[in-house]
Amino acid sequence: MSDVHAVTNDPDEISRRTFMANATIAIGGVVGVVLAIPIIGSLLPPRNASAGSWAPLSAAELDALQKATDKPVKVTFTLKFTDGYLPEQSVPEYAWGIKVDPAKFKAARPDIFNKAGGAADVPYDVVNMGFVIFSPICPHLGCYYNWSDAQNRFMCPCHGSQYTFDGTHIAGPAPRGLDPLPFRERSGAAEVTWIIYQSNTPNRIVVSYQA
């Protein structure tokens, strides 16, 4: 009678057993990772958890805004934020500022003044100090757009969305006009902070708000 517990030297049997053992280990590892993700996620605070700083514009940039007429001004600033338990980080950013007549701008962009809800639900004052500051992020899919002097409009290089000086959407797949950023005067200085809206939707849905 053969011994069922005898060790086999058959190469095919050894390969089969090795494969099964490795597969079991791999499956167990995947299951462990899947189970650990919610736990790890609950321990890590979200990015910007303690953010909320306002970034001052330089005196030169504020002066350029005050002297602006029919061209936007590219303003730069530094965002400060925390990411999980990492030390505070600083990231350079920019935005587009325009000098406006408040009444005329309100007539041109009713979508961001009508507080009834939907696309107009902007949780801060849009015009401050006679200026509007636009996020540099295209509302379509999050690319950064630029101003074209030749075309006299804002143009996104990714998918061709275009906007007028006041941020009105006039061409391309973007579902809404440009999004304004919070902007204020504090102790004689102009300050801006960061806000991100959900992309590719006609409604302005806040994803991240630092103010």
Residues 49-59: pLDDT tens digits? Answer: 334 578 999 99
Query: Which tens digits make up the pLDDT trace of 148-200?
Result: 999 999 999 999 999 999 999 999 999 999 999 999 998 888 999 888 899 99
Query: Rounded mean pLDDT of 46-71?
Result: 77
Q: Burial of 169 by CB count in 10 Å (0-12 exposed, 13-18 middle, 19+ buried)?
A: buried
**Is residue 104 over pLDDT 80?**
yes
Mean pLDDT rounded to a whole number for the chain? 79
Predicted pLDDT at 98: 97
CA dihedral over 141, 142, 147, 152, signed as positive or negative: positive
pLDDT at 198: 93
Note the pLDDT of residue 87. Answer: 75
- For residues 11-37, average pLDDT: 52
For the CA atoms of 100, 103, 107, 109, the dihedral, rounded to the nearest 10 degrees, stands at 40
User: Which of the two residues, 208 and 11, has the higher pLDDT score?
Assistant: 208
Residue 144 has pLDDT above 70, yes or no: yes
- pTM of the predicted structure, to 2 decimals: 0.72
CA–CA gap between residue 159 and residue 173 (Å, rounded)? 7
* pLDDT computed for residue 40 by the predictor: 38
- Would you say residue 36 has pLDDT above 50? no
List % helix, strand, coil for the chain (3-state, nearest 5).
25, 25, 45
Residue 201's pLDDT band, with cuts at 50, 70 and 90, is very high
Structure tokens at 115: 């507080």
Give the residue range(s) of CATH 2.102.10.10 domains in the chain: 55-209
pLDDT greater at residue 8 or residue 134: 134
Q: Reply yes or no on whether the pLDDT at 127 is more than 90.
A: yes
The answer to whether the beta carbons of residues 147 and 154 sit under 8 Å apart is yes
Q: Which distant-in-sequence residues (6+ apart) come within 8 Å of 178 by Cβ?
A: 96, 134, 135, 139, 154, 163, 167, 169
**99 within 8 A of 65, measured Cβ to Cβ:** yes
Whether the per-residue pLDDT at 128 is higher than 70: the answer is yes
% of the chain at pLDDT higher than 70: 68
Which listed CATH number (2.60.110.10, 2.102.10.10, 3.30.930.10, 1.10.3370.10) goes with 55-209? 2.102.10.10
pLDDT of residue 91: 85
Q: How confident is the model at residue 211 (pLDDT cuts 50, 70, 90)?
A: low
